């Protein structure tokens, strides 16, 4: 019974907006714009109490004493939590599911390893009373010297992460004998996700059942963590997260503030809301780790690379481990016979860094894509040409064929639209009055991360359709593309599909991270919808009450909400009429993309850890998205201010399930890349080990005025090695390569090579 026909057109397919590949607008858009969309912490619950965190004011040492006397008697205060009074939790497994050490976990710290660590919390009848009482909690410390950042004399060389080592050939030897050699160090600072919606939650216990309303990129993973902390069955924890006001990697894990709120709710027997202040979002969880890289390239006089030696360092916290894979792009972007990449991590007194849009690939690309530009000038060839001369025809590291790599096409399409051939090669050769104009290019890539998902599709009595999944939509368009997938598969309008997400009671999904969700969930919905459709057709053919019963057909056609025989010689009824005639009020099917022999344990592991993620180099292929950015900057020769005046980016994300939404995500990534290149930096007071620009007036992200028109071009083709429907990752790709493209453009404009982000004006005057 095959009654469906998914079109596998090119990446710009889908003139029909309802279908997969169509430019349907975000179906959650009106609710968000009108304010009707209710975010997690906006739930109105009876008896709600408010928790406010107290944070450490030192970066290193011990809490000597916490004086809560004044806070406890402050008006409206219900409870003051300290490490001594908070209930004890169990340590939860990490996101790989590694069995945790059997020791208690306390979300409030006695040992201080960074400034801004949670040390106490106050719960009160109103938020304002909790804030006021929190200010009355007096914490005294025994302070010890902190390691402030990577450049701290006490920081040392750090820990070698052998798993990051990638080597082939004789990189050092080949470098030594190469006729052209370049060697440079590239640094990126701490950067922050800065989502519009700050982190926060409402926790409510009913007996040993916990409900948590919390913005989440991963309901099932976070539910598992809460369950393990409190020693209750996974099924007892319900996470609800209907809308998310931006995550960028920061909302994938249950964090200590969540544990505090859930403890408070349990101890108090009332639902508790805890929302971080904006300053707390800079220390309550990690942003992107600061990184340092050296890239040495040996080449022949034609610019053919002979050797790349790469060394990387990222910072991590004193007691947590974060590895930002700095060799990830270095090892695959260009072909080279000799290669060596190694990485260390250095412990500093900061919160453990975390995932932020394209962790690893982003800083990695800043290193290699700046270095190859330096090489281009060194040998005197065009920066675009040098990239083509060293084009990797297969994955140089995995030594496997690319599943698809439309990077050459991206370079060609981008260069054409941008007018790259009109570029004059000399730095400082293009100007407009006081404005020095520079054109830069850089490439980017992101691996296709894959996992499995499940979804439920329900056809209702009126012919409309419901889709349920515990996956989420943080603005990337899950609601919309899942409606399109169900609509196309079931032959209904997207308007007739209601997608329900963000509730861990729904069929399960893995993390929304690594740009994997769309590929995973369109596949799951496609499967569920297909089996619902098979059921529907099966009923129509076999049920004695069906008008098609007498037809003895072996298939039927479902389209436009109607069901008919393929040759049009029989009945033609609406799906609703058919369901009525066979006496059913709905049909439903759950579908998943798990391997057929998966056990319940496999499934649990897949949805609640990342251990089952499928490597992007599994099997015969190496799978990645690709992009090329062409960027024009204008640098004021007196003031050193850099303005991005033109961006043309060509991107290969395979088949686009909805080009309109993909384009928006690409543009969002490019905008974030502009911020990274020019503005964003967590500034540490070296005496106190504290971020001082911990608010949105001082930590600058781009405004509309900083963003020119951005042109994005899709050059992808369906890649069925990467996903069921042919798409590759979209969300993280586009930020990768933006910062080096801008730095390269700044060099072309000014003749100054800036290797430390962000490129602020004082670096250019």
Interacting stretch for another protein, rule CB under 8 A, among 334-342, 567-575, 586-594, 694-702?
A: 694-702
What gap in Å lies between CA 97 and CA 603, rounded to an integer?
13
Bridge partners for 213 per DSSP: 202, 240
Told to check if 75 binds another protein by CB under 8 A, we report yes
Helix (H, G, I), strand (E, B) or coil at 241: coil
> How near is the Cβ of 636 to another protein at its closest, in Å?
8
> How near is the Cβ of 41 to another protein at its closest, in Å?
18
Told to check if 434 binds another protein by CB under 8 A, we report yes
Distances (CA, A) of 301 to 130, 376, 381: 67, 10, 10
For the CA atoms of 412, 414, 420, 426, the dihedral, rounded to the nearest 10 degrees, stands at -100
Pick the catalytic residue: 235, 488, 732, 762?
732
Told to check if 76 binds another protein by CB under 8 A, we report yes
Nearer to another protein, 586 or 752 (CB): 752
> How near is the Cβ of 129 to another protein at its closest, in Å?
5
Interacting stretch for another protein, rule CB under 8 A, among 344-352, 442-450, 590-598, 695-703?
A: 695-703
Choosing from 507, 702, 726, 740, the residue that interacts with another protein (CB under 8 A) is 702
Nearer to another protein, 559 or 765 (CB): 765
Pairing of strands 291-299, 710-714: unpaired
Which residue in 418, 719, 431, 460 sits closest to 579, CA to CA? 460
Told to check if 79 binds another protein by CB under 8 A, we report no
Q: Name the DSSP class of 657.
A: S
**Per-position b or e across 313-336, b if 16+ CB within 10 A of its CB:** bbbbbbebebbbbbbbbbbbbbbb
Phi, psi for residue 720 in degrees, rounded to 5: -80, -5
Take residue 248 and report the two structure tokens written for it. 């960028």
Q: Are 722 and 441 in contact (CB under 8 A)?
A: no
Told to check if 188 binds another protein by CB under 8 A, we report no
Cβ burial, residue 162 (10 Å; 0-12/13-18/19+): exposed
Whose structure tokens read 């804030």? 131
**Residues 6+ positions from 260 with CB-CB distance below 8 Å:** 51, 53, 81, 86, 107, 108, 118, 121, 274
Choosing from 678, 733, 736, 742, the residue that interacts with another protein (CB under 8 A) is 678
> How near is the Cβ of 446 to another protein at its closest, in Å?
27
Is position 409 annotated as part of the catalytic site? no
What gap in Å lies between CA 151 and CA 158, rounded to an integer?
12
Residues 273-312 that bind another protein (CB under 8 A): 279
Nearer to another protein, 135 or 184 (CB): 135
Told to check if 428 binds another protein by CB under 8 A, we report no
Which residue in 563, 544, 566, 534 sits closest to 553, CA to CA? 566
Q: Are 703 and 764 in contact (CB under 8 A)?
A: no
Told to check if 687 binds another protein by CB under 8 A, we report yes
Told to check if 552 binds another protein by CB under 8 A, we report no
Told to check if 646 binds another protein by CB under 8 A, we report no
> How near is the Cβ of 116 to another protein at its closest, in Å?
9
Per-residue binder mask for another protein (CB under 8 A), 130-159, x = binder: -xx--x------------------------
Nearer to another protein, 187 or 641 (CB): 641
Residues 355-394 that bind another protein (CB under 8 A): none
> How near is the Cβ of 440 to another protein at its closest, in Å?
19
Told to check if 267 binds another protein by CB under 8 A, we report no
> How near is the Cβ of 277 to another protein at its closest, in Å?
9
> How near is the Cβ of 318 to another protein at its closest, in Å?
19
Interacting stretch for another protein, rule CB under 8 A, among 24-32, 193-201, 529-537, 634-642?
A: 634-642
Told to check if 690 binds another protein by CB under 8 A, we report yes
Told to check if 685 binds another protein by CB under 8 A, we report yes
Told to check if 709 binds another protein by CB under 8 A, we report no
For the CA atoms of 24, 25, 28, 32, the dihedral, rounded to the nearest 10 degrees, stands at 180
What gap in Å lies between CA 92 and CA 109, rounded to an integer?
17
Told to check if 23 binds another protein by CB under 8 A, we report no
Nearer to another protein, 283 or 653 (CB): 283
- C-alpha count within 13 angstroms, C-beta hemisphere, residue 550: 4
Told to check if 692 binds another protein by CB under 8 A, we report yes
Choosing from 181, 643, 660, 752, the residue that interacts with another protein (CB under 8 A) is 643
Nearer to another protein, 59 or 524 (CB): 59
Take residue 332 and report the two structure tokens written for it. 């695959």
Interacting stretch for another protein, rule CB under 8 A, among 229-237, 355-363, 528-536, 638-646?
A: 638-646
Helix (H, G, I), strand (E, B) or coil at 166: strand
Told to check if 115 binds another protein by CB under 8 A, we report yes
Which residue in 94, 88, 122, 124 sits closest to 107, CA to CA? 88
Choosing from 43, 57, 294, 645, the residue that interacts with another protein (CB under 8 A) is 57
- Secondary structure of 51-112 as H, E, C letters: EEEEECCCCCEEEEEEECHHHHCCCCEEEEECCCCCCCEECCCCCCCCCCCCCEECCCCCEE
Nearer to another protein, 85 or 760 (CB): 760
Interacting stretch for another protein, rule CB under 8 A, among 36-44, 123-131, 147-155, 389-397?
A: 123-131
> How near is the Cβ of 596 to another protein at its closest, in Å?
54
Whose structure tokens read 């393929």? 566
> Annotated active-site positions, please?
732
* Residue ranges that bind another protein, judged by CB under 8 A: 57, 75-76, 115, 126, 128-129, 131-132, 135, 279, 434, 636, 638-641, 643, 678-679, 683-688, 690, 692-693, 697-698, 700, 702-706, 758, 760-762, 765
């Amino acid at each position: 019974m095959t009654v469906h026909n998914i079109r596998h057109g090119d990446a710009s397919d889908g003139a029909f907006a309802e279908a997969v590949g169509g430019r349907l607008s975000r179906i959650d858009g009106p609710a968000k714009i009108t304010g009707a969309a209710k975010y997690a912490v906006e739930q109105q619950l009876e008896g709600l109490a408010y928790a406010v965190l107290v944070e450490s004011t030192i970066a290193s040492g011990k809490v000597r004493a916490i004086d809560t006397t004044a806070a406890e008697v402050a008006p409206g205060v219900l409870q003051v939590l300290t490490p001594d009074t908070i209930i004890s939790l169990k340590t939860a497994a990490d996101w790989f599911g590694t069995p945790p050490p059997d020791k208690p976990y306390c979300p409030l710290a006695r040992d201080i390893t960074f400034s801004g660590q949670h040390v106490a919390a106050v719960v009160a009848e109103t938020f304002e009373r909790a804030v006021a009482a929190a200010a009355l909690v007096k914490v005294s410390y025994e302070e010890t010297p902190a390691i402030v950042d990577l450049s701290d004399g006490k920081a040392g060389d750090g820990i070698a992460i052998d798993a990051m080592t990638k080597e082939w050939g004789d990189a050092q030897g080949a470098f030594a004998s190469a006729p052209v050699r370049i060697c440079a160090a590239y640094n990126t600072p701490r950067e922050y996700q800065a989502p519009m919606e700050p982190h926060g939650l409402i926790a409510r216990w009913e007996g040993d059942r916990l409900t948590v309303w919390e913005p989440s990129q991963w309901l099932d993973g976070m539910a598992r963590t809460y369950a393990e902390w409190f020693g209750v069955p996974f099924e007892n924890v319900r996470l609800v997260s209907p809308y998310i006001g931006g995550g960028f990697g920061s909302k994938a894990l249950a964090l200590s503030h969540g544990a505090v709120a859930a403890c408070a709710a349990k101890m108090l027997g009332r639902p508790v809301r805890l929302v971080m202040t904006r300053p707390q979002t800079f220390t309550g969880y990690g942003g992107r780790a600061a990184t340092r890289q050296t890239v040495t390239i040996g080449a022949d006089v034609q610019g053919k690379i002979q050797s790349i030696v790469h060394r990387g360092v990222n910072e991590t916290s004193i007691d947590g481990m974060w590895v930002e894979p700095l060799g990830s792009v270095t090892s695959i972007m260009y072909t080279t016979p000799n290669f060596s990449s190694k990485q260390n991590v250095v412990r500093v007194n900061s919160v453990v860094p975390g995932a932020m849009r394209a962790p690893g690939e982003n800083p990695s690309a800043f290193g290699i894509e700046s270095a190859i530009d330096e090489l281009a000038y060194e040998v005197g060839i065009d920066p675009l040409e040098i990239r083509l001369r060293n084009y990797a025809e297969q994955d140089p590291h995995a030594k496997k064929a690319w599943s698809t790599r439309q990077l050459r096409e991206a370079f060609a399409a981008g260069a054409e639209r941008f007018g790259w051939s009109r570029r004059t090669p000399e730095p400082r050769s293009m100007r407009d009055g006081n404005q020095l104009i520079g054109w830069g290019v850089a490439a980017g890539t992101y691996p296709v991360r894959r996992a499995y998902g499940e979804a439920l599709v329900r056809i209702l009595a009126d012919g409309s359709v419901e889709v349920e999944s515990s996956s989420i939509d943080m603005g990337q368009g899950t609601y919309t593309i899942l409606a399109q997938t169900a609509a196309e598969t079931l032959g209904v309008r997207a308007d007739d599909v209601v997608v329900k997400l963000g509730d861990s009671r729904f069929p399960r999904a893995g993390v929304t991270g690594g740009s994997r969700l769309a590929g995973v969930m369109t596949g799951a919905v496609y499967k569920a919808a297909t089996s619902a459709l098979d059921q529907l057709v099966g009923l129509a053919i076999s049920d004695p009450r069906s008008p098609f019963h007498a037809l003895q057909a072996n298939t039927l056609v479902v389209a436009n909400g109607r069901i008919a025989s393929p040759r049009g010689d029989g009945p033609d009824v609406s799906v609703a009429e058919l369901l009525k005639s066979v006496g059913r009020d709905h049909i439903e099917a759950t579908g998943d993309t798990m391997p057929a022999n998966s056990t319940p344990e496999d499934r649990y592991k897949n949805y609640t850890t990342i251990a089952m993620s499928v490597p992007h180099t599994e099997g015969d292929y190496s799978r990645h998205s690709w992009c090329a950015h062409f960027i024009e900057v204008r640098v004021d020769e007196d003031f050193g201010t850099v303005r991005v005046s033109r961006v043309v980016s060509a991107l290969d994300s395979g088949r686009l399930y909805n080009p309109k939404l993909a384009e928006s995500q690409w543009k969002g990534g490019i905008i974030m890349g502009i911020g990274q290149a020019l503005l964003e930096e967590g500034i540490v007071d070296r005496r106190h080990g504290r971020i001082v620009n911990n608010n949105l007036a001082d930590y600058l992200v781009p405004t509309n005025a900083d963003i020119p028109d951005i042109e994005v071009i899709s050059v992808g083709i369906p890649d069925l090695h990467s996903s069921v429907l042919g798409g590759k990752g979209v969300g993280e790709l586009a930020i990768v390569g933006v910062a080096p493209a801008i730095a390269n453009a700044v060099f072309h404009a000014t003749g100054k090579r800036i290797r430390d982000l962000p490129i602020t004006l004082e670096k250019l005057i």
